[in-house]
Chain A
Amino acid sequence: MFDRAVNAIGWLVVVFILSPLIIIIGASFTETTYVAFPPQGFTLRWYQQLMGRQDFLESFVFSIVLGFLCTLAAMILGSLAAIGLHRHRFFARAFFRSFLLSPLVLPTIVTGVALLQFYYLIDLEAPLLGLLIGHVLITVPYVVRTVGAGLVGLDPAVEEAANSLGAGTLRTMLRVTLPAIAPSMLSAAIFVFITSFDQATVSIFLSQSVVMPLPIRIYSYIEFAVDPMIAAVSTLLIFIAFGLIALLQKVLGLDRAFGAEIR
């Protein structure tokens, strides 16, 4: 009786979680000019209209470029830091680690505002660089944590063995350390890319009308109109996200991958 009640509520919550996504996907195929669910008829014209929107295409490309640059920078900074923290015992190491993770607990709106007024102060007039810095700042902690977790599973004796058998530092790194932590690095990279690609709160403060990442483009569009074209672009984003989830699941297993993001 009790179990059945729990399950009934549980399934209702599952419906609550999924319903907005299902409705968006359905509504993107409607023939009506307003968002209707269930969709009336079936048409791809909202996707066609989307493909004709130069501004959305530019934003899409811009978001991908930004995401790649951010992944590259965050992976380099974060992986080096994770390896350094793993290999060396030094004064205030625990404190330093929490310092590196601190952007996770700082509200993203605050980071956005802090950078906005700082760029004004130092006269930084490079929109791409400005956004990139913001994105790297909020994604480095994921890398430090995920790659750090991967390193914990690596027995230091293996590295020492390679070293004592004559492999130099670089060789040990390339042939022993990196292959061992490759899965956690890949999952960190995917997470960083998704986070950057989806980032809206920091971007809103640092975007200008010339360079607008896709989420900000959508944001500024739906402030004025809610039409099926946005359902179409949202559907594409949902499928990209699910594709990446599937990739993550293959690489690492779903619960571990998600655990890496939240804990």
Chain B
Amino acid sequence: MSSAPLCAPALAPSALMLGHRRRRRLALVGYLAPVTLFYIGFLILPYLSLLELSFFRYSSAKLYIPQFTIDNYVAVLTDPFYWLLMLRTIGLGLLVTAITLLMGYPLALMIVRSPPRRKTLLIGIALSPLLINLVVRTYAWLVLLGDTGVINSWLKAMGLISLPLPINGNWVSVTIGLVHITLPLMVLSLVAVLENIDRRLAEAAVSLGATDTRVMRRIILPLSLPGIGSGSLLVFCFTISAFVTPALLGGNRVSTVSTMIYQKFTFSANWPVGATLVFILLAMNVAVIALHSRMFREEHDHV
């Protein structure tokens, strides 16, 4: 019941409407212009100039020479070193995704089945790492896994080992650190889906004689596939783009596409090749997102 139709005919309609529409359009510009200008200036232009940079020639004296070339892409895509780097990065992404799924699923199930108060507490615990500084969380794993760190000194005190276990400054520590950091993303995606599964489905199956594991395999797991999909996507994309954790826990011995980008933009200062790697990283992200939406669109079509 809006009052507009009642009073509009009484006033000169066309002129008023026109003024009204113009005012509305002006208001819209007022709301959206600041953020749009900001995005054009500091998102679109920097990304475009980064793209341009990836087609510039490298120069040791001047960072780069503004001269068009596709040499950087040719160099990166024909060098086995970079292929290995990409494969290792993808491998790390898959490994971390698999582990967070295996750890996150039972936790998510437990959260969903908990009584309300405990549920809030568990969600708080599961998500708390998100609000704690990335560098602090990574430092915590340095403390735990280091050669003279907590785990190694405990094992030594118990007489189980004489030399420190090689769990720091390599793929083991990087994987553990990344699992810890990405676990909340997985748990949240899983909880969101598991919460919406109708309890009566499982109850019906049980009353018809299905065992717990069968209910899990035939009902809960298939229905939670979208959550598994979106959680895996988040974790995978975060992992292949992560920088701080591999750089600190890898101790210069672990390189991923991201740490290589950092090197190219700092120590070795080959900006054009660094920019090329950036677009390869973006392409990897886009490919995974496309794969995910394809898989889950087909899912919907069948249902």
Contacts and interface: CB of A to CB of B under 8 A. Distances in A.
Given A76-B34, A109-B258, A115 B106 contact: no
Contact of A77 (B34, B133, B285): B34
A133 interface: yes
Which range contains the number of B residues in contact with the other chain? 35 or more
A136 interface: yes
Contact of A100 (B35, B113, B140, B143): B35
A40 B136 CA distance: 22
A226 B139 contact: yes
Given A14-B125, A222-B139, A245 B50 contact: no
B146 interface: yes
B262 A16 contact: no
A255 to B, nearest CB: 5
A237 interface: yes
A20 B146 contact: no
B247 to A, nearest CB: 9
B131 A241 contact: yes
Nearest to B44: A99
Interface in B232-261: 234, 237, 241, 243-244, 248, 258, 261
Interface string B104-134: 1011011101000000101111111111111
Main secondary structure of the interface of B (DSSP, over half): helix
Contacts of B213: 2
A133 B126 CA distance: 31
Nearest to A1: B212
B183 A137 contact: no
B273 interface: no
A261 B130 contact: yes
B219 interface: no
A115 B141 CA distance: 30
A81 B32 contact: yes
Contacts of A80: 30-32, 34-35
A117 B50 contact: yes
A245 B130 CA distance: 11
Contact of B282 (A110, A198, A215, A237): A110
Interface string A67-93: 000000000111011011101101000
Contacts of B281: 107, 109-110
B180 A20 contact: yes
Contacts of A83: 31
A185 B139 CA distance: 32
B141 A14 contact: no
B228 interface: no
B157 to A, nearest CB: 11
A108 B244 CA distance: 11
A251 interface: no
Contacts of B243: 108-109, 201, 204
A258 B285 contact: no
A200 B140 contact: no
B133 A2 contact: no
Residue in A3, A90, A262 with the greatest tally of chain B CB atoms within 10 Å: A262
Contacts, number: 251
B167 interface: no
Contacts of A218: 133, 135-136, 139
B28 interface: yes
B43 interface: yes
A7 B122 CA distance: 12
B172 interface: no
A157 to B, nearest CB: 8
26 contacts: A2-B213, A3-B212, A6-B106, A13-B107, A17-B126, A20-B143, A21-B140, A36-B153, A80-B31, A81-B32, A84-B28, A90-B28, A109-B262, A117-B265, A137-B39, A160-B2, A200-B134, A200-B135, A204-B243, A215-B135, A218-B136, A222-B135, A222-B139, A249-B124, A255-B123, A259-B188
Interface of B: 2-4, 24, 27-28, 30-32, 34-35, 38-39, 42-43, 45-47, 49-50, 53, 63, 103-104, 106-107, 109-111, 113, 120, 122-137, 139-144, 146, 148-150, 153, 180, 183, 185, 188, 192, 211-213, 216, 234, 237, 241, 243-244, 248, 258, 261-262, 265, 271, 274-275, 278, 281-282, 285, 289
Interface of A: 1-3, 5-7, 9-11, 13-14, 16-21, 23-24, 27, 34-37, 76-78, 80-81, 83-85, 87-88, 90, 96, 99-100, 102-103, 105-111, 113-118, 120-121, 133, 136-137, 140, 144, 157, 160, 164, 169, 194, 197-198, 200-201, 204-205, 215, 218-219, 222-223, 226, 230-231, 234, 237-238, 241-242, 244-245, 249, 254-255, 258-259, 261-263
Given A27-B143, A107-B281, A234-B140, 5 more contacts: A6-B106, A105-B237, A105-B285, A204-B244, A218-B136
